[in-house]
Amino acid sequence: MRRQTIASACICATVLLSVFAVSSCRKSSAEKTWRMRASTPLAAHGTVGRALKMFCDLVQEKSNGRIKTADFYIGELGNQRELVEMAHDGSLEVVTSLASGTARYVPQLALFEYPYIYKNEDHLVRVLDAMEDDVSALLARHNFIAVGGQNMGFRHMLNKKRPITTVADLKGLKMRGPNPIYVGMFKALGANGTTTDWSEIYIALQTGIIDGIEASPDMLLSMKFNEQAKYLSKTSHIAACVYYMIRKDWFESLPQDLQQIVTDCARQAAAYQNALDIEVQSEALKTLAAEGVQINEVNNIDEFKQQLADFKKSYVADKPTAWQQLYDKIIAVE
């Protein structure tokens, strides 16, 4: 009888300890806080910057402060390459990036910014949403998860020399592009393509290191590049885009409820940015014109598309099979 009593007491004690341990674990998890540092190489008042602020605010609010957020913008922590490295190595949790950043780890991601592959802004967003898992899978071994694709607007060409109405007008111009696809595109169009970091473009235009650049109207305006170049030609050649690149090991360290909050908030902020960007690009064009920029349509957009056809075909054909596989997936999205 005594043995049974002792055994029962032991069982009760074990159960109580287990309950206490689980309770303590839950309490500890609920009380623990995490840090989410998020950065973009773009300006705080641009659409990506405004959405990043929204993302951080939402995460802190919806997590009830369990995730403490901090947001950083152009020039505060480093350039695009440096920010991506910081996220990769652990000193940032989120960076906005894709073709000109995380493509250093998976080069074929540059194909998301390929000339004349998107029909319009809605099509681009559908592609980004459909490709989210594919991009995350490609970047998984490099410690990134891609969430919340964002359209940064169709890009046009701004330069100091002359209006671009035909392909021939690009001949000899020194045009800045953020990665080899842009540089190759400019070469195929007869210009001299070169890379310059985003934060250094203003001075490069001012000093004549470059004659022109290409970007969306809002990006041009947000960086005041129109102070140094007055000819904007609506080529709509590429639509730039980014995801929130979230550091994978940090994300996986979060409890599941916080993981869900982070992804939900990222997608909510991305939806806000995508709607805002269309409105802002239109307003930015009007502001650029009001500030003295000469804006023109090109004579025949098909001339530009035809001029780039061989470049597009050969660029992918000369790369490893993974490039063609990703390109086929991108263009398959309706």
Contact 262, 173 (CB under 8 A): no
Counted domains in the chain: 2
Q: Give the residue from 155, 153, 304, 292 showing the smallest Cα distance to 231.
A: 292
**pLDDT tens digits, one per residue of 205-217:** 999 999 999 999 9
**pLDDT tens digits, one per residue of 169-207:** 999 999 999 888 999 999 999 999 999 888 899 999 999
How far apart CA 76 and CA 246 sit, in angstroms, is 19
Bridge partners of residue 67, in order along the sequence = 34
54 and 71 belong to one structural domain: yes
How far apart CA 209 and CA 68 sit, in angstroms, is 42
Q: Which run of H or E residues covers position 126?
A: helix 121-130
75 and 203 belong to one structural domain: no
How confident is the prediction for the chain on average, in pLDDT?
91
Bridge partners of residue 234, in order along the sequence = 297
In this structure, the number of other CB atoms found within 10 A of the CB of residue 197 comes to: 16
Both ends of the chain: CA-CA distance in Å? 76
291 is a domain residue:
yes
Domain span including residue 51: 33-150+242-279
In this structure, the number of other CB atoms found within 10 A of the CB of residue 320 comes to: 10
How far apart CA 225 and CA 98 sit, in angstroms, is 23
161 and 289 belong to one structural domain: yes
112 and 261 belong to one structural domain: yes
174 and 255 belong to one structural domain: no
| Burial status of residue 160 (CB atoms within 10 A of its CB: 0-12, 13-18, 19 or more) | middle
213 and 75 belong to one structural domain: no
272 and 310 belong to one structural domain: no
Instruction: Give the CATH number, domain containing residue 205.
Output: 3.40.190.170
Phi then psi for 310, rounded to 5 degrees? -65, -40
In this prediction the pTM is: 0.82
Q: Residue 13: is its pLDDT beyond 50?
A: no
225 and 269 belong to one structural domain: no
Of the pLDDT bands very low, low, confident and very high (cuts 50, 70, 90), residue 24 is very low
Contact 245, 146 (CB under 8 A): yes
Q: Residue 130: is its pLDDT beyond 90?
A: yes
234 and 101 belong to one structural domain: no
83 is a domain residue:
yes
262 and 189 belong to one structural domain: no
116 and 211 belong to one structural domain: no
pLDDT, mean of residues 271-277: 96
Of the pLDDT bands very low, low, confident and very high (cuts 50, 70, 90), residue 29 is low
13 is a domain residue:
no
How far apart CA 322 and CA 105 sit, in angstroms, is 13
Dihedral, 136, 141, 144, 148 alpha carbons, nearest 10: 0
295 and 166 belong to one structural domain: yes
